[in-house]
């Protein structure tokens, strides 16, 4: 008898509209794996204007939306990976990022520079949550 847990492939449609070759999130047991989020504004399906701060806020709001659509909160985050097209913008991203998290419940994190992101985004964040 197997104890394997079947993965659930989840798409709330609350952030990204359309037919894409990936799931918004995949749940295995109590762990939720989120696809990378860029700063797309759900209502317009365009990247938030205004630079790294605006994009970073939208990225974090999108993460929060996906988590909540699946019964999780920002406090359930355990690991995030940040992709930036310009590492000089890391301090500005961090300032926004910290505002969405509870002190003392900061997820493990990696950050790296990349030479391009989907839709011309400046920042993308993928996360894992658990409860």
Instruction: Please write down the HEC assignment for all residues of 33-59.
Output: EECCEECEECCCCEECCCCHHHHHHHH
May I ask the CATH class of domain 33-130?
alpha beta
* pLDDT class of 86 with cuts at 50, 70, 90: very high
What is the Cα–Cα distance from 9 to 32, expressed in whole angstroms?
A: 10
Residues 11-69 have pLDDT tens digits of 888 887 777 788 899 999 999 999 999 999 999 999 999 999 999 999 999 999 999 99
Please choose, from the candidates 12, 8, 126, 40, the residue with its C-alpha nearest in 3D space to the C-alpha of residue 78: 126
Could you tell me the residue ranges of all domains in the chain? 33-130
């Amino acid at each position: 008898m197997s104890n394997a847990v079947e993965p659930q492939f989840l798409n709330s449609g609350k952030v990204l509209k359309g037919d894409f070759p990936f799931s918004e999130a995949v749940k295995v047991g109590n762990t939720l794996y989120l696809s990378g989020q860029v700063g797309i504004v759900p209502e317009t399906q365009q990247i938030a204007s205004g630079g790294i701060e605006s994009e970073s806020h939208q990225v974090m709001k999108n993460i929060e939306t996906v988590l909540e659509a699946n019964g999780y909160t920002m406090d359930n985050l355990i690991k995030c990976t940040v992709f930036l097209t310009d590492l000089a913008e890391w301090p500005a991203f961090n300032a926004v990022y910290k505002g969405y998290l509870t002190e003392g419940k900061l997820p493990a994190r990696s950050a790296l520079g990349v030479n391009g992101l989907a839709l011309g985004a400046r920042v993308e964040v993928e996360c894992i949550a658990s409860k």
